[in-house]
Structure formats: C-alpha cells, structure tokens
Amino acid sequence: MHEGLIIAASGGIKQQVKMDVLANNMANLNNAGFKSDGVVFREIFPPFDKNSSVETRENALVSPNDSSETVAYVAVDSIYTDHSQGIFQKTDNPLDLALEGDGFFEVDTPQGLRYTRNGNFRLDTEQHVVTQDGNFVLNSNQKKIKIQDSRGMIAVGPEGKISIGDGFENQDAGQIRLVKFEDNKALAKEGNGLYKIMDNEVEPLLADNLRITQGALERSNVNSVEEMTNMITAIRAFEAYQKIIQTLDDADDKAVNSIGRIV
C-alpha cells in the first residue's frame, strides 16, 4: 500500500478526534460549570518510539522498518481542558451557587470523592444539600450538609458559610468545602460535570481565594462562534485528506491498469 495513503488516513483520523472534542463542547454549551476541551497535534517521524503515548503509537500504521524516515505522521499530543472562568447567569434560586476563582465544590458520590464547578444544587428528601444527580455536597469537615429548618431563608456567604433564618436570628448550617489543586491537569473529567483525581498522591488544597455568588450559576466557558469556526476548519482539513487519498488511489489505479498494460 502506498505510504501516502496511510499518512493521509492518519491525518484524517486525527481530525475526527478533533471533531469529537468540538462536538462534545457544543453539546455541553448550556451545562453549568462545564469547561471546554481542546486538542494539540504534533508531528512524529518513524521509526516510532516504543515509549511514546498510546495515541502516538497508534500512528504506526506500518512497520517502522517499512516506513520512510523522511515523512511525518500526525499525532494527538494531548487533549487539554480550559479551566478559564465562565460568565454568571442570575437565577435567584438560593441553592444555585456560582464559583468565582480557581477551585471546586467537593461532593461525595458512590464512586468516591469528586469535584465540580456546577453549583446547581437542591435538597433531597432528608434535607441534605445535593447535586441534581443526588451526590452529597460536603462541608468543611467533609460531612454531608443538612438543612434542619427548610422553612427559613437559606443564605450562603461568599466564603461558603450557610445560615438559615429570617435575617434576625439565623442558624448556622455549616461551611461548604471549597478546594483547589496546584495543577488542574491532575484532574480528569468523569461526566455530569464531575472531575476525579488521576494521581492518588495528589491532595486537594483549601481554596482561600475562591468566592461564592448565591442565586447564580456559572455558565460553560464554551465560545459557540469559535467552536463552530473550529468545526468548519476541521471538516475542511478532513476533506483535504480525503482528496489526497482519492488522488493517490487514482494514480495507483492508472499505474496498474494503464501504464503496466502490454499492447
């Protein structure tokens, strides 16, 4: 098989990966606290390093011994998450909390501790503060937060302190646990706005400069116009690789059926 076909197919596959990432960003455009993802490409030259990442090794569609060292393949170097701040949307729901700054809410799930920017909370049947999926929001002691008197007005301060009452005699209901990480690359998305720690040696730190705005939600930081532009670019790149494959296939067809014909 012509190696040019494999190189073009390799590039086309990576554009498909980019399209999948962009499509996921657009699908989560209206999800509170969602952070967009991006793809970084790079060139790799055969023979391929056996210690390279899985994505890199998958570019070795032919044996290194059969591949020219003068050609370049396309590799996915990394898929990263943009943790920049999203804009706030006012809801006036007392259990809608938006985070300003670098950090996360800590929640308890059936799979263990997880972290989220989605502050769209509610009360369960036992008056615990939970996410929309029923995961428990934790306090500063990593315990469940329970609202004893749901008839009173729920107030959440900028630093996460919860109080219940009418403004004159408020009852303390705990402190929401807010955490951050030295490097957010230690986190991986798990779906439903949750992040998990990839390295067991990484520990969350208490967020000292994180602020809460009650009655609002942080919208996703996805820029729809930019994402649509990137989609168009990816589609055009994929079509270019398709044309290269078609051109090389036509050339091979002529070489086999016309040039080599004996009259």
pLDDT grade, residue 11 (50/70/90)? confident
CA distances from 6 to 76, 191, 237 (A): 16, 34, 16
CA distances from 116 to 131, 139, 192, 227 (A): 10, 14, 9, 23
The pLDDT tens digits for 78-104 are 899 999 999 999 999 999 999 999 999
The pLDDT tens digits for 41-85 are 887 776 666 544 434 444 444 454 455 566 777 788 889 999 999
For the chain, the structural domain boundaries read 3-83+222-259, 88-218
Which residues, including other chains, have CB under 8 Å from residue 124's CB and lie 6 or more apart? 130, 134
Q: What is the pLDDT of residue 245?
A: 81
The pLDDT tens digits for 149-203 are 767 889 999 999 999 987 667 788 899 999 999 999 999 999 899 999 998 889 9
